[in-house]
Amino acid sequence: MLNLLSIVIGIVFVLLLFSLLATTVMEMIAGLLTLRGKSLLNVFKSMLGDEQVQAFTNHVYFKQMGEKASFLRFLRKNPLPPSYIRPGTFSGILMDTFGVNGDEDPGAAIEKLPDGRLKEVLRYLYRESGGDLIAFRKKVEEWYNEVMERASEWYVSNVRSWLMGVGFVIAVVFNVDVIGIYTNLSANAALRDYLADAATQFVETQPAPQVVDSVVINPDLYGAKARFDTLLNENIAAIRSPLGIGWENTQWPAEDKGRWWMYKLLGWITTALAISLGAKFWYDLLKQLVNFRGSPQASKPATGTADNTSAAAPAPILTKPGSGLFESTGRRSASPKKQNPEEEEAKG
């Protein structure tokens, strides 16, 4: 039972690290491609129509809310579209752009609009407001809120699709094969115990990650670059060789290559699907598994001498196979057994 739990914890920990990496890459992509701003413009096109949206986005107040490019600014001369505007801002710009602002009869101003989706919607909202300008503006804001709720769901779904694609690329580039990881952990007790302890330390020291769609709303490109370097050079680098992650330690099959590639492809797809769930999902699951497993300190011998020996022994370092990982781990587990007979002789 404990061996199976350690295997599951190790797999979840690996998926968490690569989910964090995929989320960081996704944040960089969202910033470079301004996904949130483009999503907002698509919402306006669906609400106003292709012709009217141009007049709306050319409004001086909308342009003033444009964001300056903080990365690759020499390639972006024009301001980036805002990632979000408030309902009151939307209604104010809309009514000022199309003259439905009280300077003349709002109903007459609406009738002057070109035939299309916007005119029909504003007619309906004006009838619902009973001809009152303040009530009409409130109706426009309610319309905006309803559309944005549906647009947020679409945006989250779009981000998940992007994340799955990013996850598959990461799985192939780093050769993150869930099936292979399970095989390695099943065959190596020292490795799975070490990963389980590392996972415990991670959830105890690291804060819970944000949901991926909230991260890409306001991406921090420079912060994402720093997190990418830390994940790649510290966290992931420590587990690559022992787990067989990467291509440098791949054992290519001499025969039955088709079946080998089939399992590889299945493992990559499984990894991509798992990464698409987001780092927050794997962090919460890992925390529950670690709590169920219990603290590593609780499983150590109760004698004071054994505790001191275990505390002084250096933790095994995950490097290349055969570099001392399994030998050092073996010494850690064997040292308390050698200590007890000496204690008994001393006491005798």
Tell which residue, 4, 43, 56, 14, has the closest CA to residue 285.
Answer: 14
Residue 32 has pLDDT above 80, yes or no: no
Q: Which pLDDT score, from 0 to 100, does residue 78 have?
A: 64
The upper half-sphere exposure of residue 240, i.e. CA atoms within 13 Å in the direction of its Cβ, equals 18
pLDDT tens profile 36-47: 888 888 888 888
278: left (phi over 0), alpha (psi -120 to 50) or beta: left
Q: Which pLDDT score, from 0 to 100, does residue 283 have?
A: 92
Residue 89 has pLDDT above 60, yes or no: yes
Domains of the chain: which residue ranges?
Answer: 1-296, 300-348
Local structure of 80: helix, strand or coil: strand
Q: Which parts of the chain fold into alpha helices (H)?
A: 2-33, 35-48, 50-57, 60-64, 87-97, 106-111, 117-128, 133-173, 178-187, 189-205, 212-215, 221-230, 240-243, 257-276, 279-293, 304-312, 325-347
The residue-averaged pLDDT of 49-78 equals 73
Using alpha carbons, list the distances in angstroms from residue 318 to 1, 88, 123, 195, 241: 25, 56, 68, 10, 7
More confident residue, 226 or 138: 138
Give the confidence band of 103 by pLDDT, cuts at 50, 70, 90: low
Here the tokens at position 207 are: 């804060």
More confident residue, 170 or 224: 170
Q: Which pLDDT score, from 0 to 100, does residue 13 have?
A: 93
pLDDT tens profile 189-199: 888 888 888 88
Here the tokens at position 146 are: 């309803």
More confident residue, 229 or 80: 229
Give the confidence band of 17 by pLDDT, cuts at 50, 70, 90: very high
Q: Which pLDDT score, from 0 to 100, does residue 1 have?
A: 64
d(CA 253, CA 243): 18
pTM value surpassing 0.75: no
Residue 1 one-letter amino acid: M
Residue 122 has pLDDT above 70, yes or no: yes
Q: Which pLDDT score, from 0 to 100, does residue 347 have?
A: 47
More confident residue, 162 or 312: 162
The residue-averaged pLDDT of 9-21 equals 92
Q: Which pLDDT score, from 0 to 100, does residue 313 have?
A: 32
Quick one: CA dihedral 73, 79, 80, 82, positive or negative? positive
d(CA 89, CA 86): 5
Kindly report which listed range (170-174, 236-240, 262-266, 319-323) carries the lowest average pLDDT score.
319-323
Using alpha carbons, list the distances in angstroms from residue 30 to 197, 208, 226, 346: 34, 21, 16, 67
How many Cβ atoms sit within 10 Å of the Cβ of residue 215?
Answer: 21
Q: What is the DSSP string of 90-130?
A: HHHHHHHHTT-SSSS-HHHHHHTSPSSHHHHHHHHHHHHTT
The answer to whether 308 and 24 have CB atoms below 8 angstroms apart is no
d(CA 10, CA 286): 9
Residue 75 has pLDDT above 80, yes or no: no
Q: What is the DSSP string of 230-247?
A: HIIIIIITTTHHHHT-SS
The answer to whether 182 and 11 have CB atoms below 8 angstroms apart is yes
Residue 138 has pLDDT above 90, yes or no: yes
Residue 90 has pLDDT above 70, yes or no: yes
Residue 215 has pLDDT above 80, yes or no: no
Residue 285 has pLDDT above 70, yes or no: yes
> What integer best gives the mean pLDDT of the chain?
77
Q: Which pLDDT score, from 0 to 100, does residue 345 have?
A: 46
Q: Which pLDDT score, from 0 to 100, does residue 145 have?
A: 93
Share of the chain above pLDDT 90, in %: 19
Residue 84 has pLDDT above 50, yes or no: yes
Beta bridge partners of 67: 80
Q: Which pLDDT score, from 0 to 100, does residue 73 have?
A: 52
Local structure of 50: helix, strand or coil: helix
DSSP state of 322: T
